[in-house]
Amino acid sequence: MTIILLFASLFALMLLRVPIAVALGLSSLGYILVEGLPSVVLPHNMIAGMDSFPLLAVPFFILAGALMNSAGITSRIFDFARSIVGWMHGGLGHVNIGASIIFAGMSGAAVADAGGLGAIEIRAMRDAGYDDDFSVGVTAASSTIGPIIPPSLPLVIFGVMASVSIGELFVAGIVPGLLMALSLMVMVWFYSRRRNYPRDTEFRLGNVWKTFKRAFLPLMTPVIIVGGIVSGAFTPTEAAVCAAAYAMGLGLFVYGTLNAKRLATAAMETIEMTASILLIVGAASVFAWILTANQAAALFAQGLLSLTENKYLILLLITLVVLVVGLFMETIAAISILVPVLLPVTQQIGVDPVHLGIIVILNLMIGLLTPPVGMVLFVLSKVSNVPFERCVKATVPFLVPLIGVLLLLTFVPSLTLYLPEVLYRQ
Protein backbone atom coordinates (compact mmCIF):
# COMPACT_ATOMS: atom_id res chain seq x y z
CA MET A 1 0.00 0.00 0.00
CA THR A 2 2.78 2.43 0.91
CA ILE A 3 4.44 1.81 -2.49
CA ILE A 4 1.22 2.93 -4.18
CA LEU A 5 1.26 6.06 -2.01
CA LEU A 6 4.90 6.60 -2.96
CA PHE A 7 4.11 6.66 -6.69
CA ALA A 8 0.86 8.58 -6.22
CA SER A 9 2.62 11.33 -4.29
CA LEU A 10 5.42 11.48 -6.88
CA PHE A 11 3.02 11.89 -9.81
CA ALA A 12 0.89 14.38 -7.90
CA LEU A 13 3.92 16.54 -7.20
CA MET A 14 5.05 16.27 -10.83
CA LEU A 15 1.59 17.36 -12.04
CA LEU A 16 1.92 20.38 -9.72
CA ARG A 17 5.19 21.12 -11.58
CA VAL A 18 7.33 20.67 -8.47
CA PRO A 19 11.00 20.25 -9.56
CA ILE A 20 11.73 16.55 -10.11
CA ALA A 21 14.49 16.38 -7.45
CA VAL A 22 12.14 17.88 -4.84
CA ALA A 23 9.28 15.62 -5.95
CA LEU A 24 11.45 12.52 -5.60
CA GLY A 25 12.79 13.66 -2.23
CA LEU A 26 9.40 14.57 -0.75
CA SER A 27 7.66 11.39 -1.93
CA SER A 28 10.55 9.31 -0.53
CA LEU A 29 10.45 11.22 2.75
CA GLY A 30 6.70 10.59 2.99
CA TYR A 31 7.29 6.86 2.58
CA ILE A 32 10.05 6.88 5.21
CA LEU A 33 7.83 8.68 7.75
CA VAL A 34 4.80 6.47 7.08
CA GLU A 35 6.92 3.33 7.50
CA GLY A 36 8.37 4.68 10.75
CA LEU A 37 11.96 4.59 9.49
CA PRO A 38 14.51 7.04 10.94
CA SER A 39 14.58 10.27 8.91
CA VAL A 40 18.39 9.98 8.63
CA VAL A 41 17.77 7.33 5.94
CA LEU A 42 17.02 10.13 3.46
CA PRO A 43 20.30 12.10 3.65
CA HIS A 44 22.31 8.91 4.11
CA ASN A 45 21.06 7.40 0.85
CA MET A 46 21.28 10.70 -1.00
CA ILE A 47 24.94 11.08 -0.06
CA ALA A 48 25.65 7.44 -0.89
CA GLY A 49 24.07 7.89 -4.31
CA MET A 50 26.27 10.89 -5.12
CA ASP A 51 29.46 9.43 -3.61
CA SER A 52 30.89 7.98 -6.83
CA PHE A 53 34.22 8.73 -8.51
CA PRO A 54 32.86 8.28 -12.08
CA LEU A 55 30.28 11.00 -11.39
CA LEU A 56 33.17 13.48 -11.31
CA ALA A 57 33.09 13.21 -15.10
CA VAL A 58 29.74 15.04 -15.14
CA PRO A 59 30.89 18.58 -14.19
CA PHE A 60 33.97 18.39 -16.40
CA PHE A 61 32.06 17.30 -19.51
CA ILE A 62 29.52 20.06 -18.82
CA LEU A 63 32.39 22.56 -18.41
CA ALA A 64 34.00 21.42 -21.68
CA GLY A 65 30.75 21.99 -23.59
CA ALA A 66 30.16 25.37 -21.91
CA LEU A 67 33.71 26.52 -22.73
CA MET A 68 33.30 25.42 -26.36
CA ASN A 69 30.13 27.51 -26.62
CA SER A 70 31.62 30.51 -24.80
CA ALA A 71 34.79 30.46 -26.90
CA GLY A 72 32.85 30.61 -30.17
CA ILE A 73 34.15 27.22 -31.26
CA THR A 74 30.66 26.06 -32.30
CA SER A 75 30.74 28.43 -35.31
CA ARG A 76 33.93 26.75 -36.57
CA ILE A 77 32.26 23.35 -36.31
CA PHE A 78 29.19 24.63 -38.16
CA ASP A 79 31.30 26.08 -41.00
CA PHE A 80 33.22 22.80 -41.39
CA ALA A 81 30.03 20.75 -41.51
CA ARG A 82 28.66 23.24 -44.05
CA SER A 83 31.61 22.73 -46.39
CA ILE A 84 31.13 18.94 -46.33
CA VAL A 85 27.35 18.42 -46.69
CA GLY A 86 26.03 21.86 -47.62
CA TRP A 87 25.93 20.90 -51.33
CA MET A 88 23.02 18.47 -50.84
CA HIS A 89 19.35 19.37 -51.30
CA GLY A 90 18.28 21.06 -48.09
CA GLY A 91 21.95 21.68 -47.41
CA LEU A 92 21.57 23.50 -44.10
CA GLY A 93 19.38 20.70 -42.74
CA HIS A 94 22.21 18.25 -43.42
CA VAL A 95 24.72 20.75 -41.98
CA ASN A 96 22.59 20.90 -38.84
CA ILE A 97 22.87 17.13 -38.39
CA GLY A 98 26.58 17.01 -39.32
CA ALA A 99 27.41 19.75 -36.81
CA SER A 100 25.55 17.81 -34.11
CA ILE A 101 27.64 14.70 -34.84
CA ILE A 102 30.83 16.71 -34.35
CA PHE A 103 29.61 18.64 -31.31
CA ALA A 104 28.43 15.35 -29.77
CA GLY A 105 32.09 14.46 -29.32
CA MET A 106 32.59 17.50 -27.10
CA SER A 107 29.57 18.15 -24.88
CA GLY A 108 27.60 14.91 -24.44
CA ALA A 109 24.35 16.73 -23.64
CA ALA A 110 21.33 17.31 -25.88
CA VAL A 111 20.41 20.56 -24.15
CA ALA A 112 23.95 21.94 -24.67
CA ASP A 113 23.72 21.09 -28.37
CA ALA A 114 20.29 22.71 -28.69
CA GLY A 115 21.33 25.82 -26.78
CA GLY A 116 24.78 26.27 -28.34
CA LEU A 117 24.60 25.07 -31.92
CA GLY A 118 20.83 25.50 -32.12
CA ALA A 119 20.93 29.29 -32.07
CA ILE A 120 23.51 29.37 -34.90
CA GLU A 121 21.72 26.73 -36.97
CA ILE A 122 18.23 28.20 -36.77
CA ARG A 123 19.50 31.71 -37.57
CA ALA A 124 21.39 30.43 -40.63
CA MET A 125 18.38 28.42 -41.85
CA ARG A 126 16.05 31.40 -41.44
CA ASP A 127 18.40 33.62 -43.42
CA ALA A 128 18.44 30.99 -46.21
CA GLY A 129 14.63 30.92 -46.42
CA TYR A 130 13.84 27.67 -44.57
CA ASP A 131 10.53 27.38 -42.70
CA ASP A 132 10.78 27.82 -38.94
CA ASP A 133 8.95 24.52 -38.43
CA PHE A 134 11.49 22.56 -40.46
CA SER A 135 14.44 24.40 -38.87
CA VAL A 136 13.25 23.76 -35.31
CA GLY A 137 12.29 20.15 -36.04
CA VAL A 138 15.62 19.10 -37.51
CA THR A 139 17.56 21.03 -34.84
CA ALA A 140 15.62 19.34 -32.03
CA ALA A 141 15.98 15.85 -33.52
CA SER A 142 19.69 16.21 -34.29
CA SER A 143 20.44 17.39 -30.73
CA THR A 144 19.52 13.91 -29.45
CA ILE A 145 22.65 12.53 -31.16
CA GLY A 146 24.81 14.28 -28.54
CA PRO A 147 24.13 11.91 -25.62
CA ILE A 148 24.56 8.80 -27.80
CA ILE A 149 27.91 9.50 -29.47
CA PRO A 150 30.65 9.71 -26.80
CA PRO A 151 31.16 11.44 -24.47
CA SER A 152 27.71 11.21 -22.93
CA LEU A 153 26.48 12.44 -19.55
CA PRO A 154 23.48 10.05 -19.47
CA LEU A 155 25.76 7.11 -20.29
CA VAL A 156 28.02 8.10 -17.39
CA ILE A 157 25.01 8.06 -15.05
CA PHE A 158 23.84 4.72 -16.47
CA GLY A 159 27.32 3.24 -16.06
CA VAL A 160 27.41 4.32 -12.42
CA MET A 161 23.93 3.02 -11.64
CA ALA A 162 24.40 -0.31 -13.46
CA SER A 163 28.08 -0.83 -12.54
CA VAL A 164 28.92 -1.14 -16.25
CA SER A 165 32.14 -0.02 -17.95
CA ILE A 166 31.65 3.58 -19.09
CA GLY A 167 34.32 3.04 -21.73
CA GLU A 168 32.30 0.19 -23.25
CA LEU A 169 29.13 2.29 -23.15
CA PHE A 170 30.93 5.15 -24.89
CA VAL A 171 32.19 3.09 -27.83
CA ALA A 172 28.84 1.27 -28.02
CA GLY A 173 27.18 4.61 -28.78
CA ILE A 174 29.22 5.39 -31.91
CA VAL A 175 27.36 3.20 -34.44
CA PRO A 176 23.86 4.00 -33.04
CA GLY A 177 24.66 7.73 -33.13
CA LEU A 178 25.75 7.54 -36.76
CA LEU A 179 22.63 5.54 -37.64
CA MET A 180 20.49 8.25 -36.03
CA ALA A 181 22.28 10.88 -38.12
CA LEU A 182 21.86 8.86 -41.32
CA SER A 183 18.13 8.32 -40.73
CA LEU A 184 17.61 12.04 -40.05
CA MET A 185 19.53 12.98 -43.20
CA VAL A 186 17.24 10.71 -45.24
CA MET A 187 14.27 12.53 -43.68
CA VAL A 188 15.82 15.92 -44.49
CA TRP A 189 16.45 14.84 -48.10
CA PHE A 190 12.83 13.71 -48.41
CA TYR A 191 11.49 17.01 -47.05
CA SER A 192 13.91 19.08 -49.14
CA ARG A 193 12.93 17.42 -52.41
CA ARG A 194 9.24 17.85 -51.64
CA ARG A 195 9.55 21.51 -50.56
CA ASN A 196 12.29 22.37 -53.05
CA TYR A 197 14.75 23.60 -50.44
CA PRO A 198 18.01 24.85 -51.98
CA ARG A 199 21.53 23.54 -51.91
CA ASP A 200 23.47 25.75 -49.53
CA THR A 201 26.84 25.75 -51.27
CA GLU A 202 28.90 24.00 -53.88
CA PHE A 203 31.29 21.27 -52.82
CA ARG A 204 34.86 22.58 -53.11
CA LEU A 205 37.86 20.77 -51.71
CA GLY A 206 39.55 24.11 -51.13
CA ASN A 207 36.70 25.25 -48.90
CA VAL A 208 36.67 21.93 -47.04
CA TRP A 209 40.40 22.25 -46.39
CA LYS A 210 40.05 25.87 -45.27
CA THR A 211 37.25 25.16 -42.78
CA PHE A 212 38.96 21.96 -41.64
CA LYS A 213 42.08 23.93 -40.70
CA ARG A 214 39.94 26.38 -38.70
CA ALA A 215 38.12 23.53 -36.94
CA PHE A 216 41.05 21.11 -36.63
CA LEU A 217 41.88 21.70 -32.99
CA PRO A 218 38.26 21.48 -31.77
CA LEU A 219 37.86 18.32 -33.87
CA MET A 220 40.64 16.75 -31.85
CA THR A 221 38.49 16.86 -28.70
CA PRO A 222 36.56 13.63 -29.40
CA VAL A 223 39.78 12.01 -30.63
CA ILE A 224 41.44 12.79 -27.30
CA ILE A 225 38.44 11.63 -25.26
CA VAL A 226 37.58 8.40 -27.06
CA GLY A 227 41.15 7.56 -28.07
CA GLY A 228 42.41 8.06 -24.53
CA ILE A 229 39.69 5.91 -23.00
CA VAL A 230 39.97 3.08 -25.55
CA SER A 231 43.77 3.02 -25.39
CA GLY A 232 43.68 2.91 -21.60
CA ALA A 233 45.61 6.17 -21.26
CA PHE A 234 42.99 7.50 -18.87
CA THR A 235 39.59 6.75 -17.37
CA PRO A 236 36.37 8.47 -18.52
CA THR A 237 36.64 10.79 -15.53
CA GLU A 238 40.20 11.74 -16.41
CA ALA A 239 39.10 12.14 -20.04
CA ALA A 240 36.49 14.67 -18.91
CA VAL A 241 39.17 16.67 -17.07
CA CYS A 242 41.39 16.59 -20.17
CA ALA A 243 38.48 17.73 -22.38
CA ALA A 244 37.73 20.69 -20.11
CA ALA A 245 41.42 21.67 -19.88
CA TYR A 246 41.79 21.36 -23.66
CA ALA A 247 38.70 23.52 -24.32
CA MET A 248 39.99 26.15 -21.90
CA GLY A 249 43.42 26.11 -23.53
CA LEU A 250 41.89 26.64 -26.98
CA GLY A 251 39.76 29.54 -25.80
CA LEU A 252 42.46 31.27 -23.76
CA PHE A 253 45.71 30.70 -25.61
CA VAL A 254 44.94 29.62 -29.19
CA TYR A 255 41.89 31.64 -30.24
CA GLY A 256 41.93 34.28 -27.49
CA THR A 257 38.13 34.32 -27.37
CA LEU A 258 37.77 33.46 -23.68
CA ASN A 259 37.97 36.32 -21.19
CA ALA A 260 37.24 36.54 -17.47
CA LYS A 261 33.55 37.27 -18.03
CA ARG A 262 33.03 34.31 -20.38
CA LEU A 263 34.98 32.01 -18.06
CA ALA A 264 32.79 33.08 -15.14
CA THR A 265 29.65 32.49 -17.23
CA ALA A 266 30.83 28.99 -18.23
CA ALA A 267 31.76 28.22 -14.61
CA MET A 268 28.36 29.34 -13.29
CA GLU A 269 26.56 27.35 -16.00
CA THR A 270 28.58 24.29 -15.00
CA ILE A 271 27.91 24.76 -11.28
CA GLU A 272 24.16 25.20 -11.79
CA MET A 273 23.77 22.22 -14.12
CA THR A 274 26.01 19.96 -12.01
CA ALA A 275 24.15 20.87 -8.83
CA SER A 276 20.78 20.10 -10.42
CA ILE A 277 22.01 16.78 -11.86
CA LEU A 278 23.58 15.59 -8.61
CA LEU A 279 20.53 16.66 -6.59
CA ILE A 280 18.38 14.55 -8.93
CA VAL A 281 20.81 11.62 -8.66
CA GLY A 282 20.78 11.84 -4.86
CA ALA A 283 16.99 12.07 -4.57
CA ALA A 284 16.50 9.31 -7.16
CA SER A 285 18.92 7.10 -5.22
CA VAL A 286 16.63 7.23 -2.20
CA PHE A 287 13.62 6.42 -4.39
CA ALA A 288 15.51 3.53 -6.01
CA TRP A 289 16.56 2.23 -2.57
CA ILE A 290 12.89 2.12 -1.53
CA LEU A 291 11.97 0.23 -4.69
CA THR A 292 14.81 -2.24 -4.09
CA ALA A 293 13.85 -2.74 -0.45
CA ASN A 294 10.32 -3.59 -1.56
CA GLN A 295 11.59 -6.00 -4.24
CA ALA A 296 10.04 -3.92 -7.02
CA ALA A 297 12.59 -5.29 -9.50
CA ALA A 298 11.65 -8.89 -8.71
CA LEU A 299 7.95 -8.13 -8.99
CA PHE A 300 8.46 -6.32 -12.29
CA ALA A 301 10.53 -9.23 -13.61
CA GLN A 302 7.88 -11.76 -12.56
CA GLY A 303 5.18 -9.67 -14.22
CA LEU A 304 7.03 -9.44 -17.53
CA LEU A 305 8.11 -13.08 -17.56
CA SER A 306 4.54 -14.16 -16.82
CA LEU A 307 3.48 -12.43 -20.03
CA THR A 308 6.22 -13.87 -22.22
CA GLU A 309 9.72 -15.30 -22.02
CA ASN A 310 10.62 -14.14 -25.52
CA LYS A 311 13.70 -11.93 -25.23
CA TYR A 312 12.71 -9.49 -27.95
CA LEU A 313 9.10 -9.13 -26.84
CA ILE A 314 10.34 -8.28 -23.35
CA LEU A 315 12.75 -5.73 -24.84
CA LEU A 316 9.87 -4.23 -26.79
CA LEU A 317 7.76 -4.00 -23.63
CA ILE A 318 10.69 -2.38 -21.79
CA THR A 319 11.06 0.09 -24.66
CA LEU A 320 7.39 1.07 -24.33
CA VAL A 321 7.76 1.49 -20.55
CA VAL A 322 10.85 3.69 -20.89
CA LEU A 323 9.23 5.77 -23.65
CA VAL A 324 6.26 6.48 -21.41
CA VAL A 325 8.51 7.33 -18.45
CA GLY A 326 10.55 9.63 -20.72
CA LEU A 327 7.41 11.64 -21.49
CA PHE A 328 7.06 12.68 -17.88
CA MET A 329 10.45 12.43 -16.21
CA GLU A 330 13.81 14.14 -16.63
CA THR A 331 16.54 11.93 -18.12
CA ILE A 332 18.87 11.60 -15.13
CA ALA A 333 16.02 10.87 -12.71
CA ALA A 334 14.55 8.29 -15.09
CA ILE A 335 17.90 6.50 -15.43
CA SER A 336 18.44 6.45 -11.67
CA ILE A 337 15.00 4.94 -11.02
CA LEU A 338 14.68 2.61 -14.01
CA VAL A 339 18.09 0.92 -13.97
CA PRO A 340 17.69 -0.94 -10.65
CA VAL A 341 14.30 -2.20 -11.88
CA LEU A 342 15.16 -3.08 -15.49
CA LEU A 343 18.64 -4.54 -15.04
CA PRO A 344 17.61 -7.71 -13.13
CA VAL A 345 14.93 -8.45 -15.75
CA THR A 346 17.29 -8.12 -18.70
CA GLN A 347 19.97 -10.17 -16.95
CA GLN A 348 17.48 -13.04 -16.63
CA ILE A 349 16.80 -13.07 -20.38
CA GLY A 350 20.47 -12.64 -21.39
CA VAL A 351 20.48 -9.01 -22.55
CA ASP A 352 23.90 -7.36 -22.40
CA PRO A 353 23.80 -4.36 -19.99
CA VAL A 354 25.70 -2.26 -22.55
CA HIS A 355 22.96 -2.98 -25.09
CA LEU A 356 20.34 -2.08 -22.49
CA GLY A 357 22.14 1.18 -21.76
CA ILE A 358 22.00 2.40 -25.35
CA ILE A 359 18.33 1.41 -25.70
CA VAL A 360 17.37 3.20 -22.48
CA ILE A 361 19.28 6.40 -23.32
CA LEU A 362 17.90 6.60 -26.87
CA ASN A 363 14.39 6.08 -25.47
CA LEU A 364 14.90 8.93 -23.02
CA MET A 365 16.36 11.18 -25.74
CA ILE A 366 13.12 10.77 -27.66
CA GLY A 367 11.40 11.81 -24.42
CA LEU A 368 13.32 15.11 -24.57
CA LEU A 369 11.40 15.89 -27.78
CA THR A 370 7.95 15.21 -26.34
CA PRO A 371 5.76 17.14 -23.91
CA PRO A 372 5.10 17.64 -21.08
CA VAL A 373 8.82 17.63 -20.10
CA GLY A 374 10.50 18.11 -23.50
CA MET A 375 13.56 20.04 -22.25
CA VAL A 376 15.07 20.37 -25.73
CA LEU A 377 11.82 21.87 -27.04
CA PHE A 378 11.76 24.44 -24.23
CA VAL A 379 15.35 25.47 -25.02
CA LEU A 380 14.70 25.74 -28.76
CA SER A 381 11.47 27.64 -28.18
CA LYS A 382 13.52 30.18 -26.23
CA VAL A 383 16.41 30.53 -28.71
CA SER A 384 14.15 30.59 -31.80
CA ASN A 385 11.22 32.63 -30.41
CA VAL A 386 8.87 29.95 -31.76
CA PRO A 387 5.93 29.03 -29.45
CA PHE A 388 6.39 25.76 -27.56
CA GLU A 389 3.25 24.20 -29.06
CA ARG A 390 4.54 24.92 -32.56
CA CYS A 391 7.92 23.38 -31.67
CA VAL A 392 6.14 20.21 -30.59
CA LYS A 393 4.23 19.98 -33.87
CA ALA A 394 7.38 20.66 -35.91
CA THR A 395 9.31 17.87 -34.19
CA VAL A 396 6.72 15.09 -34.57
CA PRO A 397 7.74 13.98 -38.12
CA PHE A 398 11.38 13.63 -37.04
CA LEU A 399 10.40 11.19 -34.30
CA VAL A 400 9.67 8.61 -37.01
CA PRO A 401 13.32 7.98 -38.07
CA LEU A 402 14.48 8.07 -34.43
CA ILE A 403 11.92 5.47 -33.37
CA GLY A 404 12.88 3.40 -36.42
CA VAL A 405 16.54 3.41 -35.32
CA LEU A 406 15.47 2.57 -31.76
CA LEU A 407 13.59 -0.52 -32.95
CA LEU A 408 16.50 -1.54 -35.20
CA LEU A 409 18.96 -1.32 -32.30
CA THR A 410 16.55 -3.20 -30.03
CA PHE A 411 16.25 -6.19 -32.36
CA VAL A 412 19.80 -6.17 -33.79
CA PRO A 413 22.08 -5.97 -30.71
CA SER A 414 25.25 -6.52 -32.79
CA LEU A 415 24.94 -2.93 -34.06
CA THR A 416 25.51 -1.77 -30.50
CA LEU A 417 27.86 -4.47 -29.23
CA TYR A 418 30.26 -4.89 -32.17
CA LEU A 419 32.71 -2.15 -31.17
CA PRO A 420 32.76 -3.01 -27.42
CA GLU A 421 33.46 -6.65 -28.31
CA VAL A 422 36.29 -5.72 -30.70
CA LEU A 423 37.90 -3.09 -28.47
CA TYR A 424 37.28 -4.44 -24.95
CA ARG A 425 36.30 -8.10 -24.93
CA GLN A 426 38.90 -9.90 -27.03
The pLDDT of residue 112: 65
User: 375 vs 1, which has greater pLDDT?
Assistant: 375
What mean pLDDT value characterizes the chain?
86
pLDDT tens per residue across span 358-415: 999 999 988 888 876 677 887 788 778 888 888 888 899 999 999 999 999 999 999 9
pTM reported for the whole predicted model: 0.86
Percent of the chain with pLDDT over 70: 96
The pLDDT of residue 74: 76
Per-residue pLDDT, averaged over 109-128, amounts to 74
The pLDDT of residue 107: 62
- C-beta of residue 395 within 8 angstroms of C-beta of residue 141: yes
Per-residue pLDDT, averaged over 186-195, amounts to 88
User: 14 vs 216, which has greater pLDDT?
Assistant: 216
pLDDT tens per residue across span 237-289: 888 888 889 989 988 888 888 888 889 988 898 888 888 888 888 888 888 88
Three-class SS of the chain? CHHHHHHHHHHHHHHCCCCHHHHHHHHHHHHHHHCCCCCCHHHHHHHHHHCCHHHHHHHHHHHHHHHHHHCCHHHHHHHHHHHHHCCCECHHHHHHHHHHHHHHCCCCCHHHHHHHHHHHHHHHHHHCCCCHHHHHHHHHHHHCCCCCCCCCHHHHHHHHHHCCCHHHHHHHCHHHHHHHHHHHHHHHHHHHHHHCCCECCCCCHHHHHHHHHHHHHHHHHHHHHHHHHHHCCCCHHHHHHHHHHHHHHHHHHHCCCCCHHHHHHHHHHHHHHHHHHHHHHHHHHHHHHHHHHCCHHHHHHHHHHHHCCCHHHHHHHHHHHHHHHHHHCCHHHHHHHHHHHHHHHHHHCCCCHHHHHHHHHHHHHHHCCCCCCCHHHHHHHHHHCCCHHHHHHHHHHHHHHHHHHHHHHHHCCHHHHHHHHHHHCC
* pLDDT range class, residue 1, cuts 50, 70, 90: low
The pLDDT of residue 109: 67
pLDDT tens per residue across span 31-61: 888 888 888 888 888 888 888 787 888 888 8
Per-residue pLDDT, averaged over 143-162, amounts to 88
Assess whether the previous peptide bond of 151 is cis (omega < 30° from 0): yes
The pLDDT of residue 161: 87
The pLDDT of residue 110: 66
The pLDDT of residue 41: 87
Per-residue pLDDT, averaged over 296-319, amounts to 81
